[in-house]
Amino acid sequence: MKRAPVVLGIESSCDETGAGLVREGRLLGHAVASSMDEHARFGGVVPEIAARAHVHAAAPVVRAALADAGLAMADIDAVAVTTGPGLSGALQVGVAAAKGLAYALGVPLYGVHHLAGHVAADTLEHGPLPDPCMVLIVSGGHTSLLLVRDLAHDPIVHLGDTLDDAAGECFDKVARVFGLPYPGGPAVDRAAREGDPRAVAFPRPLTTRPEHRHTFSFSGLKTAAARWAEEHRAAGRPLPVADGAASLQEAVADVLTRKAVAACAEHGVGTLVIVGGVAANSRVRALARERCAAAGVELRVPPLRLCTDNGAMIAAVGDLLVRAGAEPAPLDVTVDPSAPLEYAALHPVASGPYQLAGR
């Protein structure tokens, strides 16, 4: 009997170089190398530094993922790679590596949308996604509320996106104002453990008008937190960082979970999936559990190791595409740093329109 195909996934959209191996929805092994420490002194990701780090990490990360899975290069049956969105130079490194591997091994190549990878990450822990399900993507660059059906075939419906700063971006920028280290999300989460979430009445953006029920905005919240810190410093008072962090975190978690659970009720969907880096936030997870339980909604959140960028999530999408019989990417597939999320497969080419799964 012929064995099921093994799919290698490669992720290089930002500051993590990831490789993962998936077969029939099961994670066999993965590895991640991060250049985060190199960016920390700048308070954010520097694209040129990220791209150079990917060049050095790509081959070792693939070898480490294979070793973790107990597999050899010859066991790979298909290669999937993030083709967008992300940092242009970083994406190009991953695509070049994936093309080289696919060509050398004589296996098909699949372009994958980075955000679809975050959605698929949950399948590696909890199995196939219910059809339909509500997905809340929350990360440093994206905050979106999506209605998802068959991830390999169907278009992804955007109910709402952020109008300005994403939730993770808000954490990063406010953390810097508070004097907390980069990355801001984990730093805010740690500081908040010692604080009072009711200490500061930070605003809950876009929660009063029906036409904004599915959209997000965190720029005003970021500004409110920055002004609060500035007022304390201008008055010569010590900044109660723990209280500020706890109150900020509570405001973000409140808005995210309130809108997501309400969208489930409005659309008659019984499962909410929260993915992306901010899904690792302890208060977001706790408040989501509380509100989903009260609303009779099943909550699915990937384990912490699969919330941030990784190659396993890209392999998971590739595995779904292979099993669905989707067309591989053309040989001239390139990158699209600002690609909208429409389908899981993303096959942009330099000289023509996108070749999207399902079209």
Distance in angstroms (rounded) separating the CA atoms of residues 15 and 86: 10
pLDDT digits 0-9 by tens, 218-248:
999 999 999 999 999 999 999 999 999 999 9
Distance in angstroms (rounded) separating the CA atoms of residues 146 and 155: 10
Distance in angstroms (rounded) separating the CA atoms of residues 94 and 335: 10
Long-range contacts of 323-332 (CB under 8 A, 24+ apart): 323/24, 323/152, 324/152, 324/153, 326/110, 326/152, 326/357, 327/355, 327/357, 328/78, 328/108, 328/109, 328/110, 329/83, 329/108, 329/109, 329/110, 329/111, 329/355, 330/355
Distance in angstroms (rounded) separating the CA atoms of residues 107 and 214: 41
- Average pLDDT for residues 133-157, to the nearest whole number? 96
Supply φ then ψ for residue 79, to 5 degrees. Answer: -125, 130
Burial class (CB in 10 A: 0-12, 13-18, 19+), 311: buried
Residue corresponding to tokens 């098909």: 108
Distance in angstroms (rounded) separating the CA atoms of residues 138 and 169: 10
The answer for residues whose C-beta is within 8 angstroms of residue 317's C-beta and 6 or more apart is 9, 80, 110, 112, 113, 116, 117, 120, 151, 344, 345
Q: What is the dihedral of CA 291, 293, 295, 298, to 10 degrees?
A: 110
Supply φ then ψ for residue 158, to 5 degrees. Answer: -85, 110
pLDDT digits 0-9 by tens, 319-330:
999 999 999 999
Which residue type occupies 140?
G
- Could you tell me if 105 and 76 are in contact, meaning their C-beta atoms sit under 8 angstroms apart? yes
CA nearest to 305, candidates 50, 27, 76: 27
pLDDT digits 0-9 by tens, 269-313:
999 999 999 999 999 999 999 999 999 999 999 999 999 999 999
From first CA to last CA, the distance across the chain in angstroms is 33
pLDDT digits 0-9 by tens, 1-58:
578 999 999 999 999 999 999 999 999 999 999 987 788 777 778 989 999 999 999 9
Residue 353: the pLDDT is: 47
Alpha-helical segments (H) within the chain: 36-40, 47-69, 88-105, 114-121, 123-126, 167-178, 184-192, 219-234, 241-267, 282-295, 311-324
CA angle 250, 175, 34 (to 5 degrees): 110
Average pLDDT over the chain reads 95
Burial class (CB in 10 A: 0-12, 13-18, 19+), 71: middle
- Average pLDDT for residues 235-262, to the nearest whole number? 98
Confidence (pTM) = 0.94
